[in-house]
A and B are shown apart, each in its own frame.
Chain A
Amino acid sequence: MRGLEHRGLASADGPIVIARRSETAGYGEIVAVYGGDGRRRVGRVVDSSEDAVAIQLFDSSAGLSVDDSRVEYLGKALELRVGPDILGRVFDGLGRPTDGYPEPISSEMRDVNGMPINPAARVYPRDFIQTGVSAIDGMNTLIRGQKLPIFSGNGLPHNRLAAQIVRQARILPRGQAGEADESFAIVFAGMGIKYDVARFFIDSFERSGVLARVVMFLSLADSPSIERLITPKAALTAAEYLAYERGMHVLVVMTDMTNYCEALREVSAARGEVPSRKGYPGYLYSDLASLYERAGKIEGSPGSITQIPILSMPNDDISHPIPDLTGYITEGQIVLDRELSQKGVYPPVAGLPSLSRLMKDGIGPGMTREDHKDLSSQLFAAYAKVKSVRNLSAIIGEEELSSLDKRYLRFGERFEAEFLTQGEFEDRGIGKTLDLGWRLLGLLPREELLRLPAALIEKYLPKEGG
């Protein structure tokens, strides 16, 4: 469909161009801006008045001239073509195929902005996903329909961990009936990542034989930065289609959210908005929420969207606005720790700051095991104690510690070496993870295990000398 065209711009300033008066421009509508070179650039109306229209481009504005440019109003929001054929395809950040094949055959278009889910129509997520990673399953359980980001830093193995989760994630068979043949899909959104990273994920999907079930949206580091503003939206639109219309269980991996936020800041600065912390716009929270809140399960559809966004914390600072606001929206976080990584622990999941908010309702008898909740609480408490003993030991020396504190130190060492550490291709069952936790708690005196009810201690704690 061709919309109305207008010739000439009032100004072009970075990603924001101002077109002259046009009564036809709807707020949020998609426009195509053609420069004198004839190249088509996609943009969106961000301010529409009777005198002028402000357009935010998702493409480079280089080469746009004030006199020769044409603006075409397309009369609709940015849409993504969806259909069952999108599985196995690779798109750019705006949803155009880049794998050399034509557009998917479908006449179904979806607005990439989506619509908020009615809280009354959500289904509370409680299906345990076994990732086979002890640090996650045992301590920060992932639930189907959850949004659980990985907070990482440059040089930490977040990509390897994300790939491992994708490879190993499964719903435990309930009773005898397996759910192995359930339909699942993976949607991957790459924002400002290097080609190598994208390649790593493609290889990893290929090796585990799931490539045909993956939809990729790639806006690599050399694409215009503002294209990244659309990439996660396009990816989530594809995910919503697969989950809620085709009933699939979709795992969405989005990396790197930091690049998305930088693009947002860039545009906000260009528009001259009042900045809030570190120059990020005041609506960064609402904007991130409009992405993260697209995870979940809804009534009337068997499908689900589970999000694993990856973000690199600038300077490993968890109080930086990006991880901070993300943590306020997502249902927990998996924090990777540089110190652990330097010790050679893989995956270097920081024991204490990591958290899964939906864990409480997805574990326990009938789901994982009766002791899971109390055991994880006890492990957290003991590991917190380890941290404070280590601080003390750094000051007064290990020899001066009490015998109890020394036992805690030993527990801490073995917890990191045996519980947290595992191979990149090691798939640990939840039972094995929990038993491992009990074995390590056996290193501590019984009186210290106050988070565990006596009955569970009787049943699960390995007998001394045993």
Chain B
Amino acid sequence: MTTGRITRIAGPVVVAEGLGAAGLYDVVEVGEAKLAGEIIRMDGRGATIQVYEEDTGMRPGEPVVSLGKPLSVSLGPGLLGTIYDGIQRPLSQLKAATGAFLEPGVKGESLDRSRKWAFEPAMRPGEDFGPGSLIGRARETQLVEHRVLVPPNAKPGKARRVAPAGEYDLRDTILESESGAAFGLSHDWPVRVPRPSRRRLPPTEPLVTGLRVVDMLFPISKGGCAAVPGGFGTGKTMTQHAIAKWCDADIIVYVGCGERGNEMTDVLTEFPKLVDPRTGRSIMERTILIANTSNMPVAAREVSIYTGITLAEYYRDMGYGVAVMADSTSRWAEALRELSGRLEEMPAEEGFPAYLPTRLAEFYERGGRVETMGETVGSVSIIGAVSPPGGDFSEPVTQHTKRFIRCFWALDRDLANARHYPAISWIDSYSEYAEEVAEWWDKVDPEWRSLRGRALELLKREQRLEQIVRLIGPDALPDEQRLVLMTAEIVKSGFLQQSSFDEVDKYCAPRKQVLLLRSILEFHRRAEAAIKAGAPLPKISALPVRERLSRMKSEVPNEAEHEMRAIEDQIAGAFDELDRQYRKEEAR
């Protein structure tokens, strides 16, 4: 262990001398209070350290001790259901230690090392193993089986002894190799190093979120990366919460990075009560929370993103589909900016450091669908919120993020003001995954692709017509065009808008999404034909089925497919009647 002494303190940045033997990115204990820190620069003046805790009161001359290893997280059973801070200290444990307020210097064990786990071996003595080989299984929660793997950086070997089935804690050895290497239920991994995989796979399976505007119009793949930019109050966090609650990922890592404390409390109090629609278990059993709220130290905020993605990769390696919610990446970028400013680096755009795009790219590239070292398939999907200043998407973080993601859910101020949630704009958003996931949707319904195309086209036409309406009013338009406005209105209120508080509407199953959109578009098709046949628009808008279409999302439960079918008959019946009437009038 190398020991140095502090020569300068400026906020979260500390300079120390005498650490020449320590490595860049080594973890250090700073000062008498032993605050956690990381060496981020070495030069003639000494080592520059970013401190993850509040360092008020620290003086020049205090010692700095290098622990000789990079900043790492502990990976093993016990992660799920836990709330950590940015450097993986369990917040409930800190609460027990220092009460409701976070005091600097308090230490916490990331994982409970003495808790026993029921272990079932999968490897036999004498078997060859390599990085990623399955040693055995432990039941982490009722929902998730923890697959204990040989760490990715281990050397291949031959098993001499594998622990028999039984209860073990994290200190026990469960695998010994012929060459004497020993492995337990957990291992450490440096957060800034991506965990290796065998090869990347194309992201062809959608991450089904249960949000209609996402799944039908702007889908994201398992292993895909999406950005949710929006000004304050447009619902970034609500969108992230909704996806975290209902998406079909196996594991959720929710990183609250520089955001509100109460939002994390909301997750902590609400998630345990929510039941996953597919498994019937509490969704907290599959969730890990990382909370580094806006008033917690800024350097730990910078790391929290990496901590989150490393935990995600760990579960990916077990063959799970993991979704990471990063809320918000702008706060992370601002942490970079703040630290860069303290390091007196040359700023690029708006004071952000020139390496901002590189860091963003590195982060988003850790998402993906892969064949793991253990030859299973796992994925990490990343959904990053972006908080552009003034809601202006031309700022650096939004612009650079756009280069590294393929799915963009732009949140719209006007929609949010009208309390149309999720306020995902159908004009500015896009998804490059639509083609890749089309095959999966074909199995749900072969019409998915064409419904999506028709809905988007209808909304585009409505936008063009709205521009005319704004100048001359809707009455000047012919009936066909006013019908476009009317149907678009139904699509908006009956399909795109979705209430996360409504028992039925909060999660919409894929099948219902397709049927719902098909009914609305079928209404449009029949109405178009009826207008051609001479039926006036007011007759059509007076049809009771119109209001019914707008209310179905919350009135028809996911499993009631026959009710969805019934509405199609109702549409057919209503228009058949209308057709008969007007054909008669024509005949007269």
Binding site for B on A (CB under 8 A): 23-29, 46-50, 76-77, 113-125, 145, 244, 273-277, 282-283, 285-286, 289-290, 293-294, 296, 298-301, 319-321, 324-325, 327-329, 331-333, 352-353, 355, 357-358, 360-361, 373, 376-377, 380-381, 384-385, 391-392, 395-396, 400-402, 447, 450-451, 453-454
Contact = CB atoms under 8 A, between A and B. Distances in A.
Contact of B337 (A276, A321, A395): A276
Nearest to A317: B390
Nearest to B83: A120
Given A120-B83, A286-B294, A324 B390 contact: yes
A124 B471 CA distance: 47
6 contacts: A114-B101, A119-B91, A120-B291, A275-B351, A396-B471, A396-B472
B469 A392 contact: yes
B551 A450 contact: yes
Contacts of B260: 293, 329, 331
A380 B419 CA distance: 6
Contact of B233 (A273, A277, A327): A327
B470 to A, nearest CB: 6
B261 A47 contact: no
Nearest to A285: B334
Nearest to A54: B10
A26 B32 CA distance: 12
B418 interface: yes
A47 B262 contact: no
Nearest to B101: A115
Nearest to A25: B59
Interface residues of B, number: 78
Given A274-B347, A447-B547, A117 B56 contact: no
Contacts of B418: 352, 380-381, 384-385
Q: Enumerate the 7 nearest inter-chain pairs by beta-carbon distance, A residue then B residue, closest first.
A: A319-B390, A289-B294, A384-B418, A28-B56, A49-B8, A327-B232, A352-B417
A26 B59 contact: yes
Given A119-B291, A286-B295, A380-B419, 6 more contacts: A26-B57, A114-B101, A125-B262, A277-B350, A296-B261, A324-B231
B95 A396 contact: no
A194 to B, nearest CB: 29
A289 B338 CA distance: 14
B56 A244 contact: no
B312 to A, nearest CB: 20
Contact of A381 (B57, B83, B420, B546): B420
B8 A120 contact: no
Interface stretch (B72-80, B263-271, B358-366, B506-514): B263-271
Contact of A384 (B291, B331, B347, B417): B417
B35 to A, nearest CB: 11
Given A299-B100, A380-B417, A391 B470 contact: yes
B83 A119 contact: yes
B425 interface: no
B100 A49 contact: no
A223 B389 CA distance: 31
B295 A300 contact: no
A116 B92 CA distance: 14
B102 interface: yes
A229 B3 CA distance: 37
B95 A381 contact: no
A26 B104 CA distance: 15
Contact of A276 (B232, B350, B474): B350
Contacts of A396: 471-473
A293 B91 contact: no
